[in-house]
Structure 1
């Protein structure tokens, strides 16, 4: 029984390993993956997808983006650019890339409210992650909480130390 089960598991694993996806060289990428309405995004498709055309409800009505490998000679991956629709509501949108063989590969982009996008690439410092005044309020509240906790800890320690000296 165990040998039969082991053989079945090995066959299933081998079948899974031999199954090659239609576009083994990758997936659809959208950069930035979080974008504000009106922001330009770059869509990249796998090299195995010939004559790719990208569509999404996040793009202005009816826009179809023709991707071209000539636009990215370093990787050879077809890419193209478009803007996120200025009226797009903040949510996740699928980005469908249709290849000439009729297959469709799907990626995604998250539309975020204006003023909460990824911000400038400043090297990844902590301040680069903050997205406006409300984030400063959260940071200040967290800092004040830490200072308060440290003060309480110091007071408790001092009261215990004073009590031990008094008892001795």
Structure 2
């Protein structure tokens, strides 16, 4: 088969449709505007969530982000979890299994808490994280909005990892 056989029947138009240049400019959108579509699924409003996120990604702890937003640390941790931030569960893998046993009805809450050896707030946050998945697309939207270079934010968080407290330290 020759090239002319392949091209047989293919026609070209005389003019192309000018569609312009595709531009994505999010510099004018505030973080609360970007979070507004997700607000219904968050444990706080979009403006509060924006304060939590912007404070947290600047390298502070969940507790400091909560204080800046004027919410309880557990609300800030729930918000960050729903927005796709990882490492917020105060439960270890074994404690998570125990929590899942309680959620499936295999254990009472009192038994599960005793076996997990955690307090009420830590267990409640762990149960919330086990029963609420991150909102689809929220983290990608945040990454696009927060930084033009997503790796810079990761590098900053890694550099400050030893200085930040874990979610379990807040409870």
Q: Same fold (TM over 0.5)?
A: no
In the superposition, the TM-score normalised over structure 1's length comes to 0.21
Which one scores higher on RCO, CA 8 angstroms, separation ≥ 6?
2
Larger C-alpha radius of gyration, 1 or 2? 1
More strand by share: 1
